[in-house]
């Protein structure tokens, strides 16, 4: 994870860490050997299993990839927060301007696979009254996205009303998120404020640990704060809802000195990944009925957490395979998975 201070939009960056971002391994979807056929969409070649490969179009010239973030879908909470703070420049515009300063690989859909979401948190709003938080997430499944440095898979932007500067915290080095909290968190003199700080920290570390497939339980029952000799020790824990093989916990403990300043942050992460998308949807029309059944079963186990993956896959395949994906999704909805 990296913490980057941008003093002006498009200006030089001051990076607090230059640790390399771990990159996932790219792999192409596996398909059964078959002859290629042309799909109803112009210029798209597809195998008999229904997987479309636009870059292998048999007719016509390949369309130029326009790599940009999907249209914004602000939540009601985001709209209300921005109306309250009255930013001179929309924070999403500031994020776009920053991204335009980075060198994205040409011909690869990277930005178009990303999503920018407003982080809704009463604790963050209370502790950082003039700032807003957004997360830019790139999917890790079925193929890892490789954004340019200093970006990682999960990127939190902290945007202050008073400044054009952006704070960027990424997932490649969580120590820098601790440094951000130690540097920016207001002094805390009460147990109530300490617990608020724990809630805020859990929100940030949860976003940095998310691979798009985890669902976390509320931290309410785990929160605590103890004052001793003028200092405060507080903490809390998020549990993973055991679904699709996912399980584990994410815990945070924080120590505030006698002056109320945050002096240390300890994160205990024990997250176990369950079933993940590895192009199971591309096997729903496989010639082998056993393969088809296994693919459907995997998707059903992942349930609603696989929606983003399925939505993206629908844009990559032929109408026949799209219908098969829709059929499985309808089953997920009907069965409440």
Spacing of C-alpha 280 from chain mean position: 21
CB 258 within 8 A of CB 226: no
3 state DSSP class of 177: helix
**DSSP single-letter state for residue 11:** S
> What letter does residue 58 receive in the DSSP assignment?
S
**The token pair that represents 10 in the structure block:** 């498009």
CA distance 169 to 166: 10
> Token match 């970006």: residue?
151
Give the C-alpha separation, 142 to 276, whole Å.
8
List the one residue out of 208, 212, 335 whose CA is nearest residue 273.
212
From CA 279, how far away is CA 296, in angstroms rounded? 11
Rounded to the nearest angstrom, the gap between the alpha carbon of residue 326 and the centroid of all alpha carbons in its chain is 24
pLDDT of residue 163: 80
Output b/e per residue, 22-61; b: 16+ Cβ within 10 A.
eeeeeeebebeeeeeeebeeeebbbbbbbbbbeeebeeee
Q: Are the CB atoms for 179 and 192 separated by under 8 Å?
A: no
Write down the residue that tokens 């479309």 correspond to: 52
The class (CATH top level) of 189-274 is: alpha beta
CA–CA dist 220, 236 (Å, integer): 8
Q: What is the pLDDT along the chain (337 residues), one digit of tens a residue?
A: 444 444 333 333 333 333 333 333 333 333 333 333 444 443 444 444 555 444 444 444 555 668 899 999 999 999 999 999 999 899 999 999 999 999 998 878 899 999 999 999 999 999 999 999 999 999 999 888 889 999 999 999 999 998 877 899 999 878 889 999 999 999 998 999 999 999 999 999 999 999 999 999 999 999 999 999 989 999 999 999 998 999 999 999 999 999 999 999 999 999 999 999 998 999 999 999 999 999 999 999 999 999 989 999 999 899 999 999 999 999 999 999 9
Q: To the nearest 10°, the Cα dihedral for 29, 281, 49, 55?
A: -50
**Maximum Cα–Cα distance for the chain, whole Å?**
76
Q: Is 265 helix (H, G, I), strand (E, B) or coil?
A: strand
Contact 143, 109 (CB under 8 A): no
Residues in the chain: 337
Sheet strands side by side (includes 45-46): 37-38, 45-46, 52-53
- Cβ burial of 207 (10 Å; 0-12, 13-18, 19+) is buried
* Residue-range domain boundaries for the chain: 1-184, 189-274, 276-337
CB 221 within 8 A of CB 239: no
Q: What is the pTM of this model?
A: 0.78
């Amino acid at each position: 994870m990296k913490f980057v201070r941008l003093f002006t939009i498009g200006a030089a960056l001051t990076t607090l860490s230059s640790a390399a971002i771990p990159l996932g391994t790219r792999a192409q979807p596996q398909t059964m050997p078959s002859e290629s056929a042309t799909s109803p969409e112009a210029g798209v070649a597809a195998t008999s299993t229904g997987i479309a490969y636009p870059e292998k179009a048999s007719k016509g010239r390949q369309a130029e990839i326009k790599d940009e973030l999907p249209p914004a879908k602000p939540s009601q909470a985001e709209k209300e927060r921005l109306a309250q703070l009255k930013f001179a420049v929309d924070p999403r515009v500031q994020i776009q301007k920053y991204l335009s300063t980075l060198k994205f690989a040409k011909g690869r859909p990277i930005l178009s696979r990303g999503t920018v979401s407003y982080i809704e948190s009463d604790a963050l709003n209370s502790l950082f009254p003039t700032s807003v938080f957004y997360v830019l997430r790139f999917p890790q499944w079925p193929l890892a996205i490789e954004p340019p440095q200093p970006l990682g898979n999960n990127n939190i932007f902290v945007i202050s009303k008073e400044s054009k500067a952006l704070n960027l915290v990424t997932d490649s080095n969580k120590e820098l998120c601790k440094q951000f909290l130690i540097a920016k968190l207001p002094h805390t003199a009460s147990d109530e404020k300490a617990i608020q700080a724990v809630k805020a920290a859990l929100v940030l570390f949860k976003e940095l640990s998310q691979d798009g497939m985890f669902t976390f339980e509320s931290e309410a029952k785990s929160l605590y704060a103890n004052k001793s000799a003028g200092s405060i020790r507080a903490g809390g824990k998020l549990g993973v809802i055991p679904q699709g093989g996912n399980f584990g916990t994410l815990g945070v403990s924080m120590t505030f000195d006698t002056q109320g300043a945050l002096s240390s942050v300890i994160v205990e992460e024990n997250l176990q990944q369950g079933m993940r998308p590895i192009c199971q949807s591309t096997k729903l029309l496989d010639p082998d009925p056993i393969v088809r059944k296994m693919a459907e079963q995997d998707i059903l186990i992942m349930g609603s957490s696989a929606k983003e993956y399925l939505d993206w896959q629908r844009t990559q395949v032929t109408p026949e395979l799209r219908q098969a994906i829709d059929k499985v999704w309808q089953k997920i909805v009907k069965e409440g998975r």
